[in-house]
Amino acid sequence: MFYREAGQYKTSYAADMAVFPIRQDRIGLAVILFTAFVLIPAFGNQFFLSSVMIPTLVFALAAIGLNILTGYTGLISLGTAAFMGVGAYACYKLTTWFPGVNIIVWIIASGFVSAFVGAMFGLPSLRIKGFYLVVATLAAQFFLQWCFGRIPWLVNYNTSGAIEAPERFLFGIPITGANATPESRYLVVLGVVALMTWFASNLVHGRVGRAWMAVRDMDIAAELMGIRLLTTKLLAFAVSSFYCGVSGALMVFLWYGSAEPEVFVINQSFLILFMVIIGGLGSLVGSFMGAALIYMLPIVLRLLPAALGVPIAAATVEHLQFIIVGVLIIVFLIAEPHGLARLWQTGKQKLRIWPFPY
């Protein structure tokens, strides 16, 4: 009886079409934000912040980027990791060229570099789709991955071939480098992810998002209605790559601290695709759910048996992760193609009408 919209009257069209039309949803969102911004930094230990929360947020942002392209526009991509790498290397070059500029500025600017590259590789999407578009994005993945390892200019001719995050400050507090605390890095990542999620929510619920979904449902009908396919698809590739590029910059500068080209391999692209499939296509909330499930699964598999007194080898954990993720993908594709997000929506709908069946 606590999740009801009875008595919550809508007096305007904007109120009726709000993203969170029920008061309880807005209260729940406020509680989540308070927990994320206040309670977790105050009470979370170093392992929880550095090894659980920061990676989950980084992968969630990358999953949002892929979801914009695949879930909302219907264009499948296997080049997510490559576009993350473009953002990471662009941020590294920019911060070494202009060390006096705030690192947050270059993290966002690296997303625009990745957006330009993504739009270039998205040009074939006007003529090809389906399996052929997958192959085109796969070619982008392998080509960019080759560039990361074969062009020494990208790493400032570093003999190790790796990029390293220099120490940078925000309001006098180190947020990158060896002296940055997990709390400061977590808050920066959380702030960037929260702002970009808010922007993505407004984008997909507006005119641009409706155009993307029209192209996804039937591109020929969308074109007949006056939607320009080239502009719409290229914008989807650009926005998706922008999110992936910012995610890659956050990964290197605020999580890893340094990275080699092997970080942005095809396996990373598949991992993010699995997050989108299990979390839910066409859902921002599903991107967070899928990222949390896929990334935290091996951590739980390692810690839970040890807590129960059952030792388990690291290789066994890896095999179990592959088995469980594979089974989950098959189950969700057959039983619930819209993933965890649809289950969450179904549960909320049941609460709205409980105890009545319909």
* Largest Cα span, the chain: 68
pLDDT for position 338: 86
pLDDT for position 131: 84
Find all residues with CB under 8 Å of 283, minimum gap 6, and list them: 67, 71, 338, 339, 341, 342
pLDDT for position 1: 55
CA pair distance 309, 51, nearest whole angstrom: 23
Strand 168-170 with 173-176, pairing: antiparallel
CA pair distance 249, 85, nearest whole angstrom: 8
pLDDT for position 72: 94
CA pair distance 169, 193, nearest whole angstrom: 19
Per-residue pLDDT in tens (0 to 9) along the chain, 358 residues:
567 776 777 777 777 777 777 788 888 899 999 999 999 999 988 889 999 999 999 999 999 999 999 999 999 899 999 999 999 999 999 999 998 889 999 999 999 999 999 999 988 877 888 888 888 899 999 999 999 989 999 998 888 888 988 888 888 889 988 888 999 999 999 999 999 999 999 999 989 999 999 999 988 899 899 899 889 999 999 999 999 999 999 999 999 988 898 999 999 999 999 999 999 999 999 999 999 999 988 888 888 777 777 777 778 878 888 888 888 888 888 888 888 998 888 888 887 777 776 6
pLDDT digits 0-9 by tens, 114-161: 999 999 998 887 788 888 888 889 999 999 999 998 999 999 888 888
CA pair distance 58, 71, nearest whole angstrom: 19
CA pair distance 235, 330, nearest whole angstrom: 31
| Neighbour-count burial of 279, counting CB atoms closer than 10 A to its CB (0-12 exposed, 13-18 middle, 19+ buried) | buried
| Neighbour-count burial of 109, counting CB atoms closer than 10 A to its CB (0-12 exposed, 13-18 middle, 19+ buried) | buried
Q: Which amino acid is at 70?
A: T
b (16+ CB within 10 A) / e for 89-98: bbbbbbbeee
pTM of the complete model: 0.92
